Amino acid sequence: MMPLINYIFIAAFIILIWVNTNVIIVKNIKLGVHMKKVLFICHGNICRSTMAEFVMKDIVKKRGLENDFYIESAATHTDALGSDTYPATKEKLRENDISFEKRAARQIRKADYENFDYLIGMDEANRRNIKKAMGGDPDGKISLLLDHTEHPREISDPWYTRDFDTTYNEITEGTNAFLDKIIKTL
C-alpha cells in the first residue's frame, strides 16, 4: 500500500495537468477562431516592428476592434533578443499618445506561420528572411507593411537613419491602410 504522501503528489500532479490544459483551452477561446492574428517583423524587433505593433494596437482600440485582433512583433535576427523597445521608439510613441508596455524582443519561429494570419515585414530584406525562416509562403501570408498602401515601398530602418519621425509616419500610413483592407473581410 502506498503512503498517503504519494497519493497527495499524484493528486497534485493531476490537478496541475488539468489546470494547464484548461489554461490552454481558455487562451484559445480568448484568441478566438475569428480573431485576426498579425505579426509585425523587422530586423531586431526593437524599432519598426514594435512601433507597428503598438500603433496597430492603438488604432484597433480607437476603432473599437481590439477584440477582433491579436497583435505581436518579432525579429528576423538575434541581435537584440530579450531587449525592450528602443528608447527613441518609445519617445515617438509617447509624443503621439500611444501606450506601450515593457517587452522582450523575440525571433520569429517556424510555428508563427501557422499561428498568425499575417506576417508583415518592413523591408525586402525582412521579407526574404521571413520566407527563408518559414520555408516559403504557400498561403500568401507574408507582405511588407507599405504593400497595403497606394504607394508600396520599404520602411527604412531608423536604427541607421535616426529618422523616427518618417518611420512613425510610414508605419501609421501602413497600419491604417492594412486595417482598412482587413475590415472589409471581417
Task: List active site positions.
Answer: 42, 48, 157
- Nearest one of 181, 167, 185 to 55, comparing CA atoms: 167
Chain-centre distance for alpha carbon 26:
20
Q: What is the dihedral of CA 174, 176, 180, 181, to 10 degrees?
A: 20
- Helices (DSSP H) in the chain: which residue ranges? 4-31, 48-62, 87-95, 112-115, 124-134, 158-161, 164-183
